[in-house]
A and B are shown apart, each in its own frame.
Chain A
Amino acid sequence: MDDNFEPTILAFFCNWCTYTAADLAGTSRLSYPPNIKIIRVMCSGMVDPKYVIKALLEGADGVLVSGCNPGDCHYINGNFKARRRIKLLKEILPSFGFEPERLRLTWIAASDGVLLAETLQELVAQIKTLGPSQARMQLVG
């Protein structure tokens, strides 16, 4: 495996919790890797499975969806819906040639800047171990 492999991870952060945590991590000068490209969405339940598949097909080595803790969703229950969708999506990812580990769903509350930074670091490390996405390598030739 290429030691210099730096994965690209696309992250969908909900406006209310995780995006705020990312902001807090920034304010607190917590170290988190720049491998993450963040798309702010209003709710984790807004993340359409096609966004995840598109990102993986276009070269993302991992996709992270993160929202409010169960019971905390600003929109009452959007995070539960996200949980169901992501679970199903993980089931079908292998049929596209992607390991299910490339997709992750987490709950990170607004005050958990530290947890956010740790999660990102750990995710980058995991995707590095997994290596570049083979499906994408084949697709883009």
Chain B
Amino acid sequence: MGKKMGKALVVGAGISGIRSALDLAENGYGVTLIDRETYMGGILSQLDDQFPSNHCGMCKMLPLVKRDQSSQFCLRKGLFHENIDIRLNTEVVAIEGEPGKFSVSVRKKPTWVDPERCVGCGACETVCPVEIPDAFNEGLTTRKAIYLPVPHTIPNPYVIDLAACNHCGECQKICPTQAIELSLEKRKEFYVLVVDDELIVRDSLKAWLDEEGFSVDVAESGPMALKKLSKASFNLMLTDIKMPGMDGVELLEKAKESFPDLCVLMMTAFATVETAVEAMKTGAQDYLMKPFDPEQMIAKIVQVYEEIEAGDVQSLEVGAIVLSGGTAYFDPTESKNIYGYRTNPGVITSRELERMLSGTGPTQGRLVKPQDGKNIEKIAWIQCVGSRNVQLDADYCSSVCCMVAIKEALLVIKKNPSPVETTIFYMDMRTFGKTFQRYRDSAEQEHGVRFERARIHSITADTSTGKALIRYAQIDGSIHNETFDLVVLAIGQRPARGIEVLSKLIEAPLNPWGFIQTEALSPVTTDRSGVLAGGSFSGLKDISESVMYASAASLEASRIIHAAGGSLSDESFSEPAFQDISKEEPKMLVAVCNCGNKYSEHLDEEALTRQLQQDPCVDRVVFLGQCCTATGWEELTGIIKDRRPNRLLIGACHPYLFIRKLRVLGQQIHLDAEMMDVVDIMSPIFTQTQNPTNQLSAVSYRLSALKMGISRLKNMDPLPTSMQPVTRRALVVGGGIAGMHAALAIADHGYPVDLVEQSDKLGGNLLWLHQTIEGLSLEPYLNETVQASENHPLVHIHLQSKITAAFGDVGNFYTSIENGDGSIETIQHGVAILATGGNEATTSAYGHGTSQAIMTQKELESGLAKGDVDPQKLDSVVMIQCVDSRQEPRNYCSRVCCPTSLKHALTLKKANPKIAVYILYRDMMTVGFTERYFTTARKEGVIFIQYALNNKPRVSAPTKTNTPLAVTVTDPILNRPLEIEADLLVLATGMVPQLPATLAEAFAVEKDQDGFFLEAESKWRPVDAIKEGVFGCGIALSPRSIPDTIATAGAAAQRALRILTHETLSAGKIIASVRHSLCSLCEKCIDTCPYHARHLDSNLEKIVVNPAMCQGCGNCATACPNSASVIQGFSDHQVLDMIDAAMESNWPSLSIVSPGEPKS
């Protein structure tokens, strides 16, 4: 198959890294996905439940087409994809080259346990004497030095935390498979030079490092150190900064000149920390603080040893790089720790609470007080801890914490066994996204969450009860004291750990807040060409936006690789050819893992073989020592090659572990992996040894599980995959910035695009928007994009045109376009992107339309640009936020209005500093980095007055012309009405979508209650419609800023490209088919299909299933009254036979009465 080639590197395997990697893999590129942790999933591996469902749903990110290339199980458990090479515990160490041809060095750190041999039995953990806080549980529990980093992933080999390990060797002795490779011998070859003018420092360091097994030498001065370096080879130098004569920095510079590979750690007292940080810029790896805490110091040196000595450095050739490093979180113990975190036991962070609420957490999801394990009756959240705080260098809003707090409050209410009072203390409740406001309202009104706008004075321990005592000031200045069982600090996001180093490595600067700098109007593009930033690495984003930004980044990466004509890949992505077994009788090999004879008392091999071989389809039963290890697998492969079965059943533990191995095996032996299955015969046995009271024998359990497996597999039909041809052409509706961006992205990949715009001009809202809040002029950008669209040979622009009808499915839509001249044109296309945008809402509130002095923000923008509004003639301007919005029927935040009002307030102030500007608001929604304009506006003297929904401002029209308006508002600080004279009243009315009903119906797009494009899943599939092949972007989805709009357009284009890159498409092996002879055309299956994958073909008079859309959920088969709908792999025949097998082995002596079963 003529697939595109090329490779990409994705750095960071959190949710955005996974999204980017899957995007690129689905486009046919080879992807290397790395993460410095030993597990995937990033922060989300710690969080069970997310807004808005308050559950999970991560698996919905997995491919929907060509599903069989990737894993098809819970994404928390793990991921694989044929085109993705996942490397964990791996970091980038060097990047060279240019877009299309990068050479990247990555270093894999050792885990000291061979994953190919570790069977996860956990024996090592029981003998390890070390106990340290478990980072996965945020320190709420302890773990051993040898441990499982995450409890739930597969494969899940143990790893050793070398810094914590005391080298007692007990784990090595007990490991049944000799998987642990912990040797101190190699450390002797690691030479360390300690340079310090103080003898006691030199001696004690030498003693500690000797004890750790390193080879150590010392020097008392810079010149002496240089001399020693020239004589012998050293791996690491530790040098003091303050030394007489040559100081540490000079020594560093000289040493690096002669020995550029030498790793140097600076040793510094508090006074010279800044010098040490400077030294890192000239090549020092890190610094150690004096006085030394031996444990921490040794840990750091061991870490350096692991990284530079024991690590395995490999080079990758890639065309583009996506950085998905995510974020770190604020540590409340940093700086003044005003909330008593870690000193007051009643104070925890939001991340700790997430762990407490998690099924895999320290209390298995039961919420209890950490102090005494008792139930919680009263709990509070404190917002903006470490964000929106200029003193902490965080003049930004962390963007996620408000929704996290509301979600956590609802989870606590749901999970707590007794009623619980929940209170959220906040500054502004930033419910800025789609459905956020209604979620908050429901929390408040239906679930009783209390929202308290307050300033926290302190949190102390109540002397009588020991509970956490919050002292807070309400907005009117009144002081209150209130006790809580638990206080949760909503800690803000911070730049990812190590981002400075990576930034230097890739030569891409950071922004003023320490996140990676991206371009203002290309929000995933860094300063280093060919290096993209996805997810929250470039700023503060929630899951939904991270996913969109990840797709936007992978789109740009794909563009670069495509433009470079990249064929760096040495792999060919051809469809595997399987042997045709459709005419063969089932010949099954049953391989049973006996787990190294560990559970031999539960396994009578001869009897089991006899029982299983009663079924004639069983060719042979074999027993393997350890199926999950490399040796066990080789043994199995050997037997298969010898016996050549056409069905393979494995009885082992953890079936998901084998899925990828089966795919690879299938390709080796040319047998479709669908003809292989794994059944769990171990799980109940693992625990039965602990719980021998249960009288049911494990032998019977195993026999039954295997017989059920045989029943399913022998009835598996070896069907070829149905394919759907794809018309490789796209339709984009809406010629605004989102539509143009999406169209260009698709056209740049070589596919024709029809761009349909209803007006006579491309540009949408950018035609009237003149500059961004950052002060960037939009006109050049708009002109450039319009010209690019007009000049692109593959973009066909239809102006003054609209869609009148469309039918068809993914791959083949037929759409009628009514052009400006009234002619109708029908085009055939594979995908459709709806980018129909939205407008500022019209209003009649506050007297709009009755006076020229009352205008909307859009009218002000035009007025300022045209000169109709002259700041010099104004003395006083009042702006009212949330006009008609954030209340029913438009109960959503439009997100752009607060920044727009600030933009205009600052513009007016700049033009005429004497203007008094008042902004009357409910909650200032300056999310992310726009917070700084809120800060600036306050500094510039803009006056902000908060008003309540039930006490809105009132506007009195002037009695005489040319006199000011009177705006009355109740000031909550003074608690009395204020009357403000205003020359100009500006209303922020919010945005309304413009998604025509006929268009939505044509593509089976559902609208939400506010008329926006309803996405398939707000977090995991944020730009997809439920119907495959239809996507939405820009304001049609929900109101957002220009950069965010551009990102959604990129994401939609990326989702579309994953379809267009294929000539023919299938969803996967497990799909539905129709037995037309049994079908009565009742169409129940069409109604029940959640994916719109079925329709009645009126010509054929048959129900037709689109194989690229069917996801194999089987709901059609259940709904079908005639058993005419059949799911491959789960046919009635298979399931009914499995039920027989399950029951038969329980009652072997009885003849079974069974109802008549349909023969399929």
Chain A residues engaging chain B, CB cutoff 8 angstroms? 4, 6, 8, 10, 15-17, 19-43, 45-51, 53-55, 57-60, 68-72, 74-78, 81, 85, 109-115, 139-140
A sample of 13 more A-B contacts (CB under 8 A), given A34-B701, A42-B1114, A112-B359, is: A4-B695, A6-B696, A20-B77, A26-B654, A33-B694, A36-B684, A48-B1118, A55-B1139, A58-B1152, A74-B1113, A75-B1090, A109-B359, A114-B364
User: Once the chains bind, are B1152 and A31 in contact (CB under 8 Å)?
Assistant: no
In B704-745, the 8 Å CB interface with A consists of: 704-705, 708
Kindly state whether residue B1143 has any CB partner on chain A within 8 Å: yes
The 7 A-B residue pairs whose C-beta atoms are closest, nearest first, are: A46-B1114, A26-B683, A75-B1113, A71-B53, A34-B684, A31-B687, A111-B359
User: Once the chains bind, are B1142 and A10 in contact (CB under 8 Å)?
Assistant: yes
User: Once the chains bind, are B696 and A35 in contact (CB under 8 Å)?
Assistant: yes
Q: B60 is contacted by which of A21, A41, A74 (Cβ under 8 Å)?
A: A74
Residues of chain B lying within 8 A (CB to CB) of residue A25: 683
Residues of chain A lying within 8 A (CB to CB) of residue B686: 26, 29
User: Once the chains bind, are B1118 and A140 in contact (CB under 8 Å)?
Assistant: no
Q: A32 is contacted by which of B687, B708, B1153 (Cβ under 8 Å)?
A: B687
Q: Decide: A110 near B76, CB < 8 A? Known: A6-B695, A37-B1142, A140-B1152.
A: yes
Residues of chain B lying within 8 A (CB to CB) of residue A110: 56, 74, 76-77, 152
Give A140 to B1152 CA distance when docked, in angstroms: 7
Residue of A49, A68, A115 with highest tally of chain B CB at under 10 A? A68
User: Once the chains bind, are B695 and A33 in contact (CB under 8 Å)?
Assistant: no
Residues of chain A lying within 8 A (CB to CB) of residue B72: 15
Residue of B690, B1088, B1136, B1143 with highest tally of chain A CB at under 10 A? B1143
User: Once the chains bind, are A51 and B1139 in contact (CB under 8 Å)?
Assistant: yes
Main secondary structure of the interface of B (DSSP, over half): loop
Residues of chain B lying within 8 A (CB to CB) of residue A115: 359, 365
Binds A, one of B244-252, B253-261, B909-917, B1127-1135: B1127-1135
Chain B residues engaging chain A, CB cutoff 8 angstroms? 48, 53-57, 59-60, 72-74, 76-77, 120, 122, 151-152, 154, 156, 358-360, 364-365, 653-656, 680, 682-688, 690-691, 694-698, 700-701, 704-705, 708, 1016, 1026, 1070, 1088, 1090-1091, 1111-1115, 1117-1119, 1127, 1130, 1132, 1135-1136, 1138-1140, 1142-1143, 1146-1147, 1150-1155, 1157
Closest B residue to A85 by beta carbon equals B1118
Residues of chain A lying within 8 A (CB to CB) of residue B1154: 54, 57-58
Give A23 to B152 CA distance when docked, in angstroms: 9
User: Once the chains bind, are A55 and B57 in contact (CB under 8 Å)?
Assistant: no
Q: A8 is contacted by which of B76, B695, B1112, B1146 (Cβ under 8 Å)?
A: B1146
Q: A45 is contacted by which of B653, B656, B1070, B1113 (Cβ under 8 Å)?
A: B1113
User: Once the chains bind, are B152 and A27 in contact (CB under 8 Å)?
Assistant: yes
Q: Decide: A27 near B1114, CB < 8 A? Known: A16-B74, A69-B53.
A: no
Q: A26 is contacted by which of B53, B680, B1070, B1155 (Cβ under 8 Å)?
A: B680
Residues of chain A lying within 8 A (CB to CB) of residue B696: 6, 33-35
Shortest B92–chain A CB gap in Å is 31
Give A10 to B57 CA distance when docked, in angstroms: 26
User: Once the chains bind, are A113 and B359 in contact (CB under 8 Å)?
Assistant: yes
User: Once the chains bind, are A113 and B360 in contact (CB under 8 Å)?
Assistant: yes
Closest B residue to A15 by beta carbon equals B73
Residues of chain A lying within 8 A (CB to CB) of residue B1132: 48, 50
User: Once the chains bind, are B653 and A37 in contact (CB under 8 Å)?
Assistant: no
Residues of chain A lying within 8 A (CB to CB) of residue B1088: 81
User: Once the chains bind, are B1130 and A41 in contact (CB under 8 Å)?
Assistant: yes
Shortest B1009–chain A CB gap in Å is 17
Shortest B457–chain A CB gap in Å is 38
User: Once the chains bind, are B1146 and A59 in contact (CB under 8 Å)?
Assistant: yes
Q: A58 is contacted by which of B54, B700, B1026, B1140 (Cβ under 8 Å)?
A: B1140
Residue of B48, B655, B684, B1150 with highest tally of chain A CB at under 10 A? B684
Closest B residue to A139 by beta carbon equals B1153
Residues of chain A lying within 8 A (CB to CB) of residue B1151: 140
Q: Decide: A22 near B56, CB < 8 A? Known: A46-B1113, A51-B1135.
A: no
Shortest A136–chain B CB gap in Å is 9
Closest B residue to A26 by beta carbon equals B683
User: Once the chains bind, are B156 and A27 in contact (CB under 8 Å)?
Assistant: yes
User: Once the chains bind, are B1135 and A39 in contact (CB under 8 Å)?
Assistant: yes
Q: Decide: A17 near B1115, CB < 8 A? Known: A27-B151, A31-B691, A59-B1152.
A: no
Shortest B970–chain A CB gap in Å is 40
Q: B56 is contacted by which of A26, A46, A72 (Cβ under 8 Å)?
A: A72
Residue of A24, A34, A49, A69 with highest tally of chain B CB at under 10 A? A34
Give A19 to B59 CA distance when docked, in angstroms: 14
Q: Decide: A39 near B1139, CB < 8 A? Known: A27-B152, A111-B359.
A: yes
Give A16 to B76 CA distance when docked, in angstroms: 10
Residues of chain A lying within 8 A (CB to CB) of residue B359: 21, 24, 109, 111-115
Residues of chain A lying within 8 A (CB to CB) of residue B1091: 75-76
Between A and B, 22 residue pairs with Cβ closer than 8 Å are A8-B1143, A17-B74, A22-B680, A23-B680, A24-B360, A26-B683, A32-B687, A34-B697, A37-B704, A37-B1142, A38-B680, A39-B1142, A42-B1070, A57-B1153, A58-B1140, A58-B1153, A71-B54, A75-B1113, A75-B1115, A109-B48, A109-B56, A111-B56
Q: A75 is contacted by which of B76, B684, B697, B1111 (Cβ under 8 Å)?
A: B1111
User: Once the chains bind, are B1118 and A46 in contact (CB under 8 Å)?
Assistant: yes
Q: Decide: A43 near B1113, CB < 8 A? Known: A69-B55, A111-B56.
A: yes
Residues of chain A lying within 8 A (CB to CB) of residue B705: 37-38
Closest A residue to B1026 by beta carbon equals A76
Give A58 to B1118 CA distance when docked, in angstroms: 20
Residues of chain B lying within 8 A (CB to CB) of residue A113: 152, 359-360
User: Once the chains bind, are B74 and A45 in contact (CB under 8 Å)?
Assistant: no
Residues of chain A lying within 8 A (CB to CB) of residue B74: 16-17, 20, 110
Residues of chain A lying within 8 A (CB to CB) of residue B656: 20, 23
User: Once the chains bind, are A16 and B73 in contact (CB under 8 Å)?
Assistant: yes
User: Once the chains bind, are A29 and B122 in contact (CB under 8 Å)?
Assistant: yes
Give A51 to B1136 CA distance when docked, in angstroms: 7
Give A110 to B54 CA distance when docked, in angstroms: 14
Residues of chain B lying within 8 A (CB to CB) of residue A28: 151, 360
Closest A residue to B58 by beta carbon equals A110
Closest B residue to A61 by beta carbon equals B1146
Shortest B140–chain A CB gap in Å is 16
Residues of chain B lying within 8 A (CB to CB) of residue A76: 1016, 1026, 1090-1091
Q: A57 is contacted by which of B655, B695, B1155 (Cβ under 8 Å)?
A: B1155
Give A12 to B269 CA distance when docked, in angstroms: 63
Residues of chain A lying within 8 A (CB to CB) of residue B55: 68-69, 71-72, 109
Q: Decide: A78 near B1115, CB < 8 A? Known: A39-B1135, A46-B1127, A69-B55.
A: yes
Q: B73 is contacted by which of A20, A48, A111, A140 (Cβ under 8 Å)?
A: A20
User: Once the chains bind, are A59 and B654 in contact (CB under 8 Å)?
Assistant: no
User: Once the chains bind, are B1115 and A30 in contact (CB under 8 Å)?
Assistant: no
User: Once the chains bind, are B682 and A26 in contact (CB under 8 Å)?
Assistant: yes
Residues of chain A lying within 8 A (CB to CB) of residue B358: 111
User: Once the chains bind, are B1143 and A58 in contact (CB under 8 Å)?
Assistant: yes
Q: Decide: A37 near B1115, CB < 8 A? Known: A55-B1139, A58-B1139, A114-B359.
A: no
Q: B1115 is contacted by which of A6, A16, A43, A60 (Cβ under 8 Å)?
A: A43
Give A110 to B749 CA distance when docked, in angstroms: 39
Closest A residue to B366 by beta carbon equals A114
Give A36 to B684 CA distance when docked, in angstroms: 9
Residues of chain B lying within 8 A (CB to CB) of residue A20: 73-74, 76-77, 656
User: Once the chains bind, are A45 and B1118 in contact (CB under 8 Å)?
Assistant: yes
Residues of chain B lying within 8 A (CB to CB) of residue A57: 1153-1155
Closest A residue to B1070 by beta carbon equals A42
Residues of chain B lying within 8 A (CB to CB) of residue A85: 1118
Q: Decide: A111 near B122, CB < 8 A? Known: A15-B73, A24-B151.
A: no
Give A75 to B122 CA distance when docked, in angstroms: 35
Q: Decide: A46 near B1115, CB < 8 A? Known: A39-B1138, A57-B1155.
A: yes
Closest A residue to B698 by beta carbon equals A34
User: Once the chains bind, are A46 and B1130 in contact (CB under 8 Å)?
Assistant: yes
